[in-house]
Amino acid sequence: MRMSNFGYLVRRGIGSVFKNAMMSVASFFVLLVSLLLIGLSVIVAMDLSIVMSNVEEKNEIQVYVNGELDQTTLNHITDAIKNNPNYLNVIYYSKEQAWEDEKAKMSDYKDLFDNLKENPMPHTFRVTVKDISVISQTADELATIEGVEEVMAPLDFASALVDIRSTLSVIAGSILVVMIATSIIIIYNAIRSSVYARKQEINIMKVVGATNAFVKIPFFIEGMFIGIAAGAASWFVTKVTYEAIVQLFREDLTIWRIFGLVNIIRFDDITWYVLAANCVLGALLGAVGTIISTGKYVKV
Amino acid sequence: MVELKNVDVHYTDGPRKQPDALNDINIRVNDGEFVFIVGDSGAGKSTLLKLLTREIQPSSGRVFVNGYNLKKLRNRKLPQFRRSLGMIFQDFRLIPTLTVYENVAFVLRVIDKSKKYIRQRVPYVLNLVKLNDKAKAYPGQLSGGEQQRVAIARAFACDPKIIIADEPTGNIDPKLSYEIVELLQDINECGTTVIMVTHNHDLVKYFGGRIINLKEGSIAFDGYIEGE
């Protein structure tokens, strides 16, 4: 196809967006909201995984060993911990060190400590895990190591984190599916109404020997134009919304620090990726909607 | 050239078979001929035209148009085949949102002609149908006769081997009908085959030439008559 004729089809496609203004505007806004929700879900999901890993890093299983611990047993327990598939890091904290630290912490009750004949503190191995979702299983496994008396793990906290993460994944996934489906349906309707408005033109095209591609290109341009425009607009709205949410959290420094929000994504760092992703996704949704709506109705 | 050999067309209405729309039709139209196809409503004229443009396939028999065997023509070759035809309809089928010039240029764009060619060809064909001064008008601003002349210009713009006119005088003033047929005859004199379907017997008697008369799906007459 000649460039001049392709240009003509592009102009007709874009012209159709404005001729079909009502449907175009409706599609534009539905797509904008869809892309906004999809974009925010993805960024928030990425932020959450950063926050989760911050929290996870602080989360550890404490493995206690009472009584005396010779070097051989210490090595045996350390090796056994390191052999666990969920092991990430281990710090050994001797009972002597624990005792000294405890005494320092409670210096006001020095008399109490002086009356104790034996050091009551256990030897402690602080084990950081890779995956918090299987922390309970890991704790059980570590408890079976020979010489280990007791294992303490923040199981409630871990399960709460796991629950939050899986709930958020389900919500983000549902938003994604619903929004993509809604976007395709609205584009489908917009293009169908455009096909209907240009029924006569399409019939003439068929009669004079237009190829399927020639008939369909303007509709593709129309669908993709709406998609790209909605993508660009949703990038801007996403930026404003995300920065406003971040600002809201930033005002509460306690939450900010506890959850390690200092490390979350800065929009400026990903702005071009978001713009490109929004425009590509918008164009893709426009194209898919057009394929479905023209496939059946526009056939030479 | 158009050739129909032992063509039958029958439509089915659910499990029931309808009477044959066309029954054992044998027609040959040579290049450069002007043929009137006449017949009452339901005689099979529309079915015959649909066969020639390959909107439908025959139930049996073979149809050849411009060297294409329409029974074997693949869908992807259909646009190429249709570019060898020029179609004129009773209801003109102009695009109301495009000017006269743009309506004619539109079909040239469809068949991927260059900008330069379009700039030369459109004024030429509009001049041929004496509508140069209406190039910027919209179809709604024209009379029925003028709209049909635009449709003729559009059909002729692609320089087709055959022009098929389906009741081209059906929606216009009887006086102007003669002008339309004269215009088609002018085009025919340039070497283009013209097949014109009409139920206007006065027009056929006036111009004469080759007449094919269809009656209940069969050919009742195929021959030449003298014009008045």
| Closest among A275, A281, A278, A287 to A221, alpha carbons compared | A287
- Cα separation, A35 vs B148, in Å, equals 49
Helix axis angle for A155-197 and A199-208, nearest 10°, is: 70
Q: In chain A, what residues touch B95 (CB-CB under 8 Å)?
A: 200-201, 204
Strand ranges for chain A from DSSP E: 60-65, 87-93, 123-129, 150-152
Residue B36 in contact with residue B222, Cβ under 8 Å?
no
| pLDDT for position A61 | 86
Domain boundaries, chain B: 1-84+161-228, 95-159
Contact list in B for residue A205 (CB cut-off 8 A) is: 110
What's the confidence (pLDDT) of residue B15? 63
pLDDT of residue A159: 76
Q: Which two tokens stand for residue B148?
A: 């049909």
pLDDT tens digits along B133-176:
999 999 999 999 999 999 999 999 989 999 999 999 988 888 88
Of B53, B80, B109, the CB nearest to A5: B109
| Residue A51 contacts residue A261 (beta carbons within 8 Å) | yes
pLDDT tier at A225 (50, 70, 90 boundaries)? very high
Residue A265: how many other CB atoms lie within 10 Å = 14
Residues B65 and B75: their CA atoms lie apart, in Å, by 15
* Mean pLDDT confidence for A46-64: 77
Measured between CA atoms, the residue of chain A closest to residue B108 is A208
For the whole prediction, is pTM greater than 0.95?
Answer: no
CB contact under 8 A, A208 and B78: no
Q: Do B79 and A211 touch (CB under 8 A)?
A: yes
Indicate the average pLDDT of chain B. 90
B87 in contact with chain A, both atoms CB, cutoff 8 A: yes
Could you give the ipTM of this predicted complex? 0.76
- Average of per-residue pLDDT across A42-54: 79
For position B135, what pLDDT does the model report? 95
Residues of chain B with C-beta less than 8 angstroms from the C-beta of A204: 93, 95, 106-107
3-state secondary structure of A148: coil
Taking CB atoms and an 8 Å cutoff, what residues of chain A touch B154? Answer: 208
What distance in Å separates the CA atoms of residue A279 and residue A226, rounded to the nearest whole number? 10
pLDDT mean over A205-227: 87
Question: Helix A21-58 and helix A155-197: axis angle, to 10°?
Answer: 170
Nearest to B27 by CA among B54, B51, B59, B55: B51
**What pLDDT, on the 0 to 100 scale, is given for residue A277?**
94
pLDDT of residue B228: 78
SS (H, E, C) A5-34: HHHHHHHHHHHHHHHCHHHHHHHHHHHHHH
Taking only the tens place, the pLDDT of each residue in A59-86 is: 788 888 877 778 888 888 888 888 888 8
Q: What does the pLDDT read at residue A115?
A: 75
**B contacts of A208 (beta carbons < 8 Å):** 82-83, 87, 107, 110-111, 154, 158
Write the pLDDT tens digit of every residue in A121-150: 888 888 888 887 788 888 888 888 888 888
A217 to chain B: closest CA residue: B110
Alpha carbon separation from B179 to A170, B104, B149, B163, B185 (Å, rounded): 73, 20, 9, 17, 10
Question: Chain B interface, mutation test: which of A208, A211, A216, A300, most B Cβ atoms within 10 Å?
Answer: A208
Ordered domains of chain A (ranges, CATH): 3-55+159-297 (no CATH), 60-153 (3.30.70.3040)
CA of A9: which chain B residue's CA is closest? Answer: B109
* Residue A78 vs residue B35, higher pLDDT: B35
Q: Which residues of A touch B115 (CB under 8 A)?
A: 2, 4
Average pLDDT, chain A: 83
Return the higher-pLDDT residue of B135 and A179: B135
CA distance B198 to B192: 19
> B93 in contact with A at a CB cutoff of 8 Å?
yes
Residues 6+ apart with CB under 8 A from B184: B34, B152, B163, B165, B168, B194, B196
Q: What is the CATH number of domain B1-84+161-228?
A: 3.40.50.300
Per-residue model confidence (pLDDT) at position A196:
84
Nearest CA to CA, how far is B154 from chain A (Å)? 9
Task: Find the angle CA(A108)-CA(A111)-CA(A116) to the nearest 5 degrees.
Answer: 125
Phi, psi of B17 (to 5 degrees): -90, 130
Write out the two tokens for B88. 């004129």
Q: What is the DSSP string of B137-184?
A: S-GGGS-HHHHHHHHHHHHHHT--SEEEEESTTTTS-HHHHHHHHHHH
In chain A, residues with a C-beta closer than 8 Å to the C-beta of B78 are: 209, 300
Distance in angstroms (rounded) separating the CA atoms of residues A262 and A213: 52
Range B98-121 average pLDDT: 91
Give the integer Cα–Cα distance in Å for B110 and A208: 7
